[in-house]
Amino acid sequence: MRNLLLAGVLLALGSAVSAQSVPAFQSGNDGTRNQAASELFFMVEQLREEVRTLRGKVEEQQHQIEKLSTQGRDRYVDLDGRLLELSKRLSALEDAGSVPAVNPSPTGAAATQSKPGDTSAKSFRQPNDFEQKTYNAIQEKIRAKQYTTAIDELYEFIAAYPEGDLTVNAYYWLGELYLAESEPDQARQAFTIVTARFPEHRKAADALYKLGIAQQSLSQNAEARETMRSVQQRYPGSNAAELANEFLRKNPG
């Protein structure tokens, strides 16, 4: 194909020169120069095409970056909105005297709502087969370190199943993934939802401990120590309490 194109250009050059009554190839040297010029022309065209292709890829990557940035901002706004709504609901319940006081503030530990070791733990709606399968698929992505995809699917899972045993797990894993992605503020909010809304869930103790870790990452050191002390008080004997003890030993304040 390249030889055919080269022949076509040479023919065009020869015609142009003939129109001026100058032979296309007066000598071997002229022929060599013409061939070199033709090859240079094609090299330039190839480079131009490569530049156009690279420019297109750069524009596509910029679009993807903007899309990811928008998705991250939307996720943050959504989680922040959920936390605000949670705070309002808890305040309304407290005013009505329906539940013991719980502090949903992300900068402090939640107050004790049930006695440690209470065997009358609240039961949560168990998942159906499809719900469990969907959740398991998300866990596979987490194990494969496909964190961005897993975060998106966790949000979709929570939207599809706003209440239930695995919903609490989904909030908890949002916090874990945000910590892994070095986004401690979003992690703090996710863990706060678990500790404030679901203090009797099996993930609550771990979530409260991880809330302290997120607070420390945000340089909220006093709040982190307060949260760790709350882990000790509310969930004594748990693995989270042992980790909180170690944290407080290393960070006495």
pLDDT at 120 over 70: no
The pLDDT score that the predictor gives to residue 123 is 78
Work out the burial of residue 235: count CB atoms within 10 Å of its CB; fewer than 13 is exposed, 13-18 middle, 19 or more buried: buried
Q: How confident is the model at residue 82 (pLDDT cuts 50, 70, 90)?
A: low
Q: How confident is the model at residue 43 (pLDDT cuts 50, 70, 90)?
A: confident
pLDDT tens track for 216-253: 999 999 999 999 999 999 999 999 999 999 999 999 87
Note the CATH architecture for domain 100-250.
Alpha Horseshoe (1.25)
The pLDDT score that the predictor gives to residue 98 is 40
pLDDT tens track for 184-198: 999 999 999 999 999
Least confident of 104-113, 138-147, 160-169, 176-185: 104-113
Amino acid at 178: Y
The pLDDT score that the predictor gives to residue 45 is 77
pLDDT average, residue stretch 152-170: 94
213-222: long-range contacts (C-beta < 8 A, 24 or more apart)?
213/179, 213/247, 214/175, 214/179, 214/184, 214/185, 214/187, 214/188, 215/106, 215/107, 215/184, 215/188, 216/251, 217/179, 217/184, 217/187, 218/184, 218/185, 218/188, 220/107, 221/251, 221/253, 222/253
Total-model pTM = 0.57
pLDDT at 178 over 70: yes
Taking the C-alpha atoms of residue 138 and residue 160, their distance in angstroms, rounded to an integer, is 14
| Domain boundary assignment for the chain | 100-250
pLDDT tens track for 58-81: 777 776 666 665 655 565 556 556
Q: How confident is the model at residue 22 (pLDDT cuts 50, 70, 90)?
A: very low
